[in-house]
């Protein structure tokens, strides 16, 4: 069986609020890295609305 290396980068994946990326790396058929990256800074506006 031959070695298989796969890199999957999904950029600007939309979510409920803001955007994120998914990064998946597979080397020799084994998962090496799987990350969910938040690419926007937190806005924290929800904390201003508490108790209103």
Query: What would the pLDDT profile of 23-52 be if each residue is shown by its tens digit?
Result: 889 888 888 999 888 777 767 766 777 776
Q: What confidence category does residue 22 fall into, taking pLDDT thresholds of 50, 70 and 90?
A: confident
Q: What confidence category does residue 15 fall into, taking pLDDT thresholds of 50, 70 and 90?
A: low
Q: Which of 1, 26, 17, 18 is nearest to 9 (CA)?
A: 26
Q: What is the pLDDT of residue 17?
A: 65
* pLDDT average, residue stretch 8-14: 76
Q: Which residues contact 37 (CB under 8 A, 6 or more apart)?
A: 20, 21, 22, 23
């Amino acid at each position: 069986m031959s070695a298989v290396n796969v890199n999957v980068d999904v950029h600007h994946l939309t979510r409920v609020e803001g955007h994120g990326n998914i990064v998946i790396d597979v080397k020799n058929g084994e998962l090496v890295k799987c990350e969910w990256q938040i690419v926007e800074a937190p806005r924290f506006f929800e904390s201003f609305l508490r108790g209103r």
